[in-house]
Amino acid sequence: MKLAGRVVIITGGGHGLGRDLALGFADAGADLSLCGTDVAALESTAAELQARGRLVVARKVDVADEALVERWVTDTLEELGRIDVLVNNAGITGPTASIDRVSRVEWDHTLAINLTGAFLCARAVLPHMAARGSGKIINISSVAGHIGYALRAPYAVSKWGMLGLTRTLAVEWGKHNIQVNAISPGSVSGERLERVIRERAAKSGVPESEVRREYTSKAVLDRFVPPEHVAAMAVFLASELGDSITGEFLQVAGGFNLG
């Protein structure tokens, strides 16, 4: 139980990768605070965590809403007493379209959730972590934050921005013994990826099977990434074994674009 006695807060923690992250931290002994916008998913995941013996706070929060983020962090401190780790996982896929067909509303909404939300959550927890003299922030970026990504400009820009935020926070807050890192997953198996494949196939006129093959062929392991592998990396970074790692971008991507 590497994280027994620790409190981990996860944005977008109700379903998809967020759920797998929460289960991974719970199995490592941490208590958890989750936020998201899907109440049913939050309640379901919270029940799974409680069945594992963990204390859980779950709140409906749009991470782009400053007041809701601050309230969630305050509630967590009041109910669980501390925050050791923040995982900025909340994110949306954004539109699938060439840049000339992306609306200002779509652009702003994608960056508000994927990047501004991470800034707001980090800003809310950092004073508490600094006062305690330790803390971890783990930002979930993407391999899309390392490449040009046709038809997904807002998403790619938000993930590139997450890397800049990661490195800047690491430099600013290292003196307080706070480590800040980013995990860049490749194509993580699950419903979200299947939705992306369907949308890309529809926009490009290419069969879904070919789009799926396009995604797997970019990784030298020639397969999608199981979400529990991303969760395992997050647990490692959150543990004492990750105490000397900061400002890094760690790809869990099956060797994406190495071939």
Catalytic residues, by residue number, are: 155
Place of tokens 């690491």: 170
Q: What angle do CA 30, 43, 120 make, to 5 degrees?
A: 65
Distance CA 128, CA 241 (A): 22
Pair type for strands 249-252 and 135-140:
unpaired
Q: What phi and psi values does residue 179 have, to the nearest 5 degrees?
A: -100, 135
CA 166 to chain centre: 12
User: 3-state SS of the chain: helix, strand, coil percent to 5?
Assistant: 55, 15, 30
Tokens of 3: 């994280």
Contact 11/63 with Cβ under 8 angstroms? Answer: yes
| Residue from 127, 228, 112, 114 nearest 182 by CA | 114
CA 197 to chain centre: 20
